[in-house]
């Protein structure tokens, strides 16, 4: 299994696994903010993945996004592979609301991270569990 970049380990909780990707939750209660990390070594861009891995990433991303849209009642999803700071390929899936702290700006660098309370964290996990994204094994 590819090691997670130390910055991702510091900023996120590992909450689940799809066949290709680990699913992380950003420790920032301002937004339900998930990250998919394909379990491949030394890949920094989506197009560097092989054809099967690309399709699997798309499938896992869409399975997650469908649940985020429906069970989190997202006003919008922000899906992005940036990686300017953390080179390991990772794809942000951020649930956006018209009344969130950064709306309509992107979330990166906008507002200091807000720690989760235990209750708020449980609520996020419960919504994800209720949505049951196709292929996801929850680890929490």
**What residues line the site for its own copies (CB under 8 A)?**
44-47, 54-55, 58, 61-62, 65-66, 69, 76-85, 87, 96, 103-106, 108-109
**24 vs 74 by CB, closer to its own copies:** 74
**132 vs 139 by CB, closer to its own copies:** 132
In angstroms, give the least distance from the CB of 53 to its own copies.
Answer: 11
**102 vs 121 by CB, closer to its own copies:** 102
Give how far Cα 7 sits from Cα of 49, 66, 67, Å.
22, 27, 26
Give, to the nearest 10 degrees, the angle between helix 118-131 and helix 51-71: 110
**84 vs 119 by CB, closer to its own copies:** 84
CB within 8 Å of 36: residues ≥ 6 apart: 18, 21, 22, 23, 24, 57, 60, 61, 64, 90, 91, 93
In angstroms, give the least distance from the CB of 90 to its own copies.
Answer: 12
How many angstroms separate the CA atoms of 21 and 17, rounded? Answer: 6
In angstroms, give the least distance from the CB of 11 to its own copies.
Answer: 15
């Amino acid at each position: 299994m590819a090691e997670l970049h130390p910055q991702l380990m510091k900023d996120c909780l590992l909450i689940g696994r799809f066949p290709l990707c680990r699913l992380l939750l950003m420790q920032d209660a301002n937004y339900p903010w998930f990250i998919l990390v394909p379990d491949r070594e030394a890949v920094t861009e989506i197009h560097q993945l092989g054809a099967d891995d690309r399709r699997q990433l798309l499938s896992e991303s869409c399975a997650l996004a469908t649940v985020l849209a429906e069970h989190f009642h997202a006003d919008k999803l922000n899906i992005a592979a940036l990686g300017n700071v953390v080179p390991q390929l990772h794809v942000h899936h951020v649930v956006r609301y018209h009344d969130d702290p950064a709306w309509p700006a992107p979330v990166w660098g906008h507002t200091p991270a807000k720690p989760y309370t235990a209750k708020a964290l449980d609520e996020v996990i419960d919504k994800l569990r209720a949505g049951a994204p196709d292929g996801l094994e929850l680890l929490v």
